[in-house]
Structure 1
Amino acid sequence: MPRKGMRSLCFSTRTPSFSNSGQTMSPSRSSQSSIPRRRFLESMIEQTIDAAATIIMKWDAETSAYARVTSLFYQSKREAMLFIRSVNELQKLMHLLVTEDSGSEKLIQAQHLMQIAMKRLQKEFYQILSMNRAHLDPESVSTRSSRTSARSSMSDFEDDGSPDDGITTAGDSISEVEEVSSMAMSDLKLIADCMIASGYAKECIQIYKIIRKSIIDEGIYKLGIEKTSSSQVNKMDWDVLDLKIRNWLEALKVSMRMLFNGERILCDHVFASSDSIRESCFTEISKEGASLLFGFPELVAKSKKSPPEKMFRVLDMYTAISENWREIQTIFSFESTLTVRLQALNSLIRLSESVRSLLTDFESTIQKDSSKAMIPGGGVHPLTIYSMNYLTLMADYSNILTDIVSDWPPPAKSSLEGSDFNSPDSDESPSPAISVRIAWLILVLLCKLDGKAKHYKDVSLSYLFLANNLHQVISRVRTSNLQCLLGEEWTAKHEVKVKQFAANYERLAWGHVFAALPENPTASMTPGEIKENFRKFNSSFEDAYWKQSSCVVPDPKLRDKIKDSIGRKLDAVYREFYDTHKSTVGDERGVIVRFSPEDVGKYLSDLFFGTVSSGTSSTSSSTSSHHRWHIRSPLRA
């Protein structure tokens, strides 16, 4: 059963002698009863001081060599609990003596004992903190099992005669580190409670701040977070800055999950008896390191270096702070840590401003691309590959980008007059703000490509160029998160345009070949008409073949569609004409009929790979072995 407080024990309102009497004591009888009460009180005071002196003086390092080299809490947990209990009883007695007789010798004696006890507890507090640096590191504290949450060790020893029951059964299923961590936290709390209640909070706090701040500062340093100025960031090569950003991303994870979280848990537990003390301690310990941590993103956001990769590093940093925002608010919830929260918020604002600026720069990069070199064969332009790589990566950050651009004014359509801006369906898109922005950037790209297509002297090649590049855009959309942002309707509209570009290419590049064949290939003709039709077809087909032999269609599906479309229009008509009239030519077949239907098909199958490996033979026999193309890939990123 817990002991009653000294005051309730010594100042009962009723005494045994009068417990059953309803009469009021007369003055004479009251004065007579006060004598034994005073004697009893003096006896209890004497006993309390003597009991406290016995345990306290035993552990006085100035008078005992044993106490000087031995730890109270490590030597005997039960004796440590007795020490704490004696100090608490002594503190109650001192309050009583101050009320009764502030100048008594007993009060002076009690004060002397209290000073010795506090000096001992200071030493124990320091030893537990310093000797358990490994067990009280933030990671151990933050991952400590809830079953080992520190309980008052005092209660562990009051109800049970076994001194070890409350310690060794902390849980066989937890690790030794967690168990030691739990025990140390419990001991620290006992000492802190005792010293604070005894009026020695300042001494306790000073020790705690010095040791724990060194741990946080060391942890921040090991995570690679150092004080850096804006000028230093601007002078760094991008590779160096990029490495620092990646280190910072990892440091934020560790610091929020373990470093600051563990320190907040420990601080809240040790100083649970005083809100003001735990706030003061945690703030002084963590504020400097946290300010360094959350200040770095702002420096990156404001840096002058803007390589393409910066966009995604800035988005990574914005994402990291956003995802940890709740933890930041919880861990740094004190009023005195408001500056930490404001620094994190300010970094978010600066990062979002940087993203907007980088988006503007990206659009400007597309619009200002001044390269006039034509892509051989009408293939995919490097600007298309670069831009779609960029936008595809951006789509992976769509949720974050939506937050950033949600209140950003939409793009001014007047800047691309005459363009057809197919804005994504807002009902279909999960992130309408960023969807519109990405659709706009793709439009800027397509308008730029349209201008580049005009550099081709061969109009048919310009249409093939547009078909190739728009098809590349759509392919990247369909195979990335861009599809979710832009929607099926946007994709379908642009696929129709690809078909239109391909049809225009086919009409301009192969139209004269189609026209060289008679409308009715099986109609009756004179031998002269037949020979003339074969000559016209030979000439037009050979001319078209050589002109288109350098054309490139990198995507296999689009390549097959274009070849199939040309083949269907040529093969059926030419085969009918050939089968119907080849006998009329007779011995002149090798001269007049230079291509069999099979030859035509083989030549068409070789198209759109790049450059012909050898020339076309003038004889049909030489064309039976069709040519293959050397695939060139200057357009691949």
Structure 2
Amino acid sequence: MRKLCFNPKTPSFAMERNSPSSSKSTPTPPRLSYSEEDSFMEEAESLILKWNADTSAYAKVTSLFYEDKTEAKNYINCVNQLQNTMHSLISTNPSSHKLVLAQNLMQIAMKRLKKEFYQILSTNRAHLDPESLSARSSRTSATSSASDCDDEDDDIRAAADSISEVEQVSSAAVADLKLIAHCMLSSGYAKECVSVYIIIRKSIIDEGIYRLGVEKLSSSRANKMDSEVLDFKIKSWLEAARISVRTLFNGERILCDHVFGYSDSIRESCFAEISRDAASLLFGFPELVAKTKKYSPEKLFRVLDMHAVVSELWPEIESIFSSDYTSAVRSQVLASLQRLTDSAQNSLAEFESTIHKDSSKLALNGGGVHWLTIQTMNYLAILADYVNVLSDIFPRADWLPPPRSSSLPESYLYSPESDYSASTPALTARVAWLILVLLCKLDGKARHCKDVSLSYLFLANNLWYVVARVRSSNLQYVLGDDWIAKHEAKAKRFVANYEKVAWGEVVSSLTVNPGAAEAREVFEKFNAKFEEAYRKQNSFVVADRDMRDEIKGSIARSIVPRYREWYDAVLATVGSVRDLTVTEYVTFTPEDVENYVANLFFFGTASSSVTSSPHRRWS
């Protein structure tokens, strides 16, 4: 950031703005007697003409304040006394030739001081930049720690001396600028002084904004810009905003306050003129982005990032641009905040609309996690990281959904999940509502499935993914433990329904008491039902590993013990010599059944791209 701007850190001039000391006036020189007046006029003429660049080659190439500080202060005192003498002459002898001489000398002196003012500003740009002055803030700690050490390193001592020297130069420059500015302002040459200051310091602010990557951007260009390019510009702006406010504008504010500390109106109008264009460019960017017509789910997060940064900087912006002269800047910042708020609200409404409008007719993909579920939960998980910003942006009335106007089925709309009490946090209610919209959409997709068992498994997989995603993100703090427990229980009910529909006939085929007479019929029925169920269910997907193990264990507990009882009873009935007519229709041993169940969903898991949730027993 070197050469970008000015951010004073030194105790010599990094004082509180509008402090009482900044308003003190230089004492008015005493009125001179007639003889003293003549003597002063001769001395004033000699000194002022000495530094007249139009008549002196020496004065043309030499700086008064750089060459001799003592003479420079004498020059300022001379001009102040000359101004006092002119007032005295006007009141006592307005036709005096000395008044004409004084006026001529004053014009020459003001021209000289204007040149000195310009030279000090231009030659000290490097000393009045934020990087070098920020580095100087650590000078005290560096030198004090070095002095405590007897064997202080020469490099540390040299660095401290160098920093001290640079600080003295910049402090002296500010003191000289303040001295000249007060002299010119009190002599009625404020316009000449301010014009020089504005030209140089405005160029520093404008250059700083440019170097930070903030450029003028039209609405049409922003709308035509690729999302990746606009995203890059937003990220650059986020960093530029902090640097600009805390270094660029704040530093210029402090410098302006010190140089023109004797006049509130001049320092405020001067700072306003210097910062107006750069501030408009910087603070107008969020509003421009918010007004772009392109919608993408990611746009909301960038809008929230900008809103967070502007809100974070607002107290500093309000302090730096506190006067009536800079009220337009404050108004623009507030307008940008409102635009960002509107954009965020519209983006979230658009996101909800995309869930409602999803009309993909794809098969349920073995009952696995739907892409809509993955995208929605990823979106909401990121959204949960912006809890503080969202709480500021969305009033409670905007968060709570209007149930009567919703397109959700009544079974979802008036379920316990959609009940929002007066004590429910607004963000919690809104996120729960968006998940409810998703679950309703998934329920609609499941209803179109001809295989009932697959529809239950589809709902179980997706709801469990939702719960797992909530647990692994800040959504757990937004929705709370009660919400998680409630939806875990609902997912288990889906699993229970799946097991009942998918494996119920296999279990019911073993309800007859074991006996040799019914053995053939029971085994044949079991073989057919088990083979049919296994063939169908083995192509299904159970995405979560813990859930998969729990389902297979539950199926095995329902089937294997019953089958083993049948199997052992029948073999005991036929005796130790195995009846060939029995063994002919015994396709599976109990161990076979157990192994087949253990291998369920093996192929289905390979087709699932969903990562298993963090370790946790699904029971």
Q: TM-score, normalised by structure 1?
A: 0.81
2:312 maps to 1:323: yes
Contact 1:435 1:486 in 2 (8 A): yes
Question: Distance between the aligned counterparts of 2:533 and 2:165, measured in 1?
Answer: 82
Q: How does 1:456-471 map to 2 (within 5 A)?
A: 456-471=449-464
Indicate yes or no: 2:513 matched with 1:538: no
| Distance change (3 Å), C-alpha of 1:175 and 1:300 | farther
* 2:443 paired residue among 445, 450, 456: 450
After TM superposition, list the pairs within 5 Å mapping 1:75-94 onto structure 2.
Answer: 75-94=67-86
1:226 paired residue number: 215
Matched, 1:508 2:494: no
For residues 376-455 of structure 1, the aligned pairs below 5 Å read 376-409=365-398, 410-414=400-404, 415=406, 416-418=408-410, 419=412, 420=415, 422-423=417-418, 432-455=425-448
User: How many Å apart are 1:510 and its aligned residue?
Assistant: 1.0
Matched, 1:193 2:182: yes
The answer as to 2:592 corresponding to 1:603 is no
Displacement of 1:276 in angstroms is 0.7
- State the Cα distance separating 1:570 from its structure 2 match: 2.5
In 1, are the aligned partners of 2:341 and 2:393 still within 8 Å (CA)? Answer: yes
Structure 1 residue 132: Cα displacement? 1.7
Aligned partner (choices 113, 127, 136) of residue 105 of structure 2: 113
Q: C-alpha distance in 2, partners of 1:371/1:87? A: 84
Residue 51 of structure 2 corresponds to 59
Alpha-carbon offset, residue 388 of structure 1: 0.8
The CA deviation at 1:575 is 3.5
Q: Using the alignment, how far apart are the partners of 1:5 and 1:352 within structure 2? A: 55
Deviation by residue 1:219-254 (Cα, 9 ceiling, x = unmatched): 222223333222222222222222222222222122
User: Is the 2:454–2:498 contact (alpha carbons within 8 Å) kept by the matching residues of 1?
Assistant: yes
Alpha-carbon separation, structure 2, partners of 1:285 and 1:516: 89
Amino acid at match of 2:69: K
Distance 1:4 1:560, change over 3 A: closer
Tell me the distance in 2 between the aligned counterparts of 1:173 and 1:531: 102
Map 1:595-634 to 2 at 5 A.
Answer: 595-611=588-604, 631-633=606-608
Change (3 A) 1:303 1:48: same
Report Cα offsets for 1:139-168 as digits up to 9, x if no partner.
5567764999xxxxxxxxxxxxxxxxxxxx
The equivalent residue for 2:617 is: none
Distance in 1 (CA, whole Å) between partners of 2:396 and 2:429 is: 13
- The answer for unaligned runs of 5 or more in structure 2 is 1-25, 141-159, 613-619
Q: Counterpart in 1 of 2:296?
A: 307
Does residue 180 (structure 1) correspond to residue 169 (structure 2)? The answer is: yes
Equivalent pairs, count: 558
Which residue, out of 16, 20, 30, partners 1:7? 30
Bigger Cα Rg: 1
Aligned to 2:153: none
Q: Is the 8 A contact 1:463 1:502 kept in 2?
A: yes
* SS of residue matched to 1:397: helix
1:230 corresponds to which letter in structure 2?
Answer: S
Deviations 1:570-610 (A, max 9, x none): 23333344445445562647644333333323222222233
Does the C-alpha gap of structure 1 residues 324 and 590 become closer, same or farther in structure 2, counting only changes over 3 Å? farther
After superposition, the C-alpha distances for 1:56-114 in whole angstroms (9 at most, x for unaligned) are 33322223222211112222223322322332233333333333333333333333332
How far, CA to CA, are the matches of 1:176 and 1:555 in structure 2?
67
**Counterpart amino acid of residue 333 in structure 1:** S
In 1: Cα distance, 2:202 partner to 2:135 partner: 20
Change (3 A) 1:603 1:177: farther
State the alpha-carbon separation in 2 of the partners of residues 537 and 543 from structure 1. Answer: 10
Structure 1: distance between partners of 2:258 and 2:331: 26
1:15 corresponds in structure 2 to none
Residues 9-33 of structure 1 show CA distances to partners (whole Å, capped at 9, x for unaligned) of x5xxxxxxxxxxxxxxxxxxxxxxx
Check whether the contact 1:553–1:609 (CA below 8 A) recurs between aligned residues. no
What's the CA shift for 1:526? Answer: 3.5
Question: What secondary structure does 2:297 align onto?
Answer: coil
* Distance of 2:338 and 2:99 partners within structure 1: 60
What secondary structure, in the 3-state scheme, does the structure 1 residue paired with 2:358 have?
Answer: coil
Contact kept, 8 Å, 2:256 with 2:270, in 1: the verdict is yes
Asked if structure 2 preserves the Cα contact closer than 8 Å seen for 1:550 and 1:608, the reply is yes
Counterparts of 1:334 and 1:5 in 2: how far apart (Å)?
Answer: 29
Task: Give the superposed CA RMSD.
Answer: 2.7
Q: Measure, in 2, the Cα distance between the counterparts of 1:480 and 1:94.
A: 77
User: Would the aligned equivalents of 2:515 and 2:569 in 1 still touch at CA under 8 Å?
Assistant: no
Given the two structures, how large is their TM-score scaled by the length of structure 2?
0.84
Contact 1:424–1:486 (CA under 8 A) maintained in structure 2: no
Equivalent residue, structure 2, for 1:361: 350
Report the AA paired with residue 328 of structure 1: I
Q: Distance in 2 between matches of 1:393 and 1:609?
A: 32
Q: What is the rounded CA distance, in whole Å, between the counterparts of 2:606 and 2:73 in structure 1?
A: 84
Unaligned runs of 5+ in 1: 11-40, 149-170, 612-629
**2:552 is aligned with 1:559:** no
Code of the aligned partner of 2:80: N
Counterpart AA for 1:109? L
Asked if 1:490 corresponds to 2:513, the answer is no
- Cα pair distance change 1:411/1:6, threshold 3 Å: closer
1:146 and 1:267 map into 2 onto residues whose CA distance is 24
Partner of 1:35: none
Does structure 1 residue 374 correspond to structure 2 residue 363? yes
Counterparts in 2 of 1:142-221, with a 5 A limit? 145=137, 174=163, 177-221=166-210
Q: 1:318 to 1:4 in 2, by over 3 A?
A: closer
The more displaced of 404-413 and 500-509 is 404-413
The amino acid that maps onto 1:479 is S
CA distance in 2 between partners of 1:569 and 1:347 (Å)? 63
Moved more, 416-425 or 75-84: 416-425
Select between 502-511 and 138-147 the one with higher mean Cα deviation: 138-147
User: Any conservation in 2 of the 1:467–1:499 contact (CA below 8 Å)?
Assistant: yes
**Structure 1 match to 2:257:** 268
Distance 1:593 1:174, change over 3 A: farther
Most deviating of 226-235 and 456-465: 226-235
Deviation at 1:209, TM superposition (A): 0.9
Residue 372 of structure 1 aligns to a residue in which SS?
coil
How far off is 1:549 after superposition? Answer: 0.4
**Residue 443 of structure 1: how far off its partner (Å):** 0.7
Compared with structure 1, are the counterparts of its residues 513 and 555 closer, same or farther at alpha carbon in structure 2 (3 Å cutoff)? same
Take 2:34 and 2:89, find their aligned partners in 1: how far apart are those partners? 11
The counterpart of 1:137, out of the listed 121, 129, 137, is 129
Query: Residue 239 and residue 6 in structure 1: after superposition, are their counterparts in 2 closer, same or farther (change >3 A)?
Result: closer
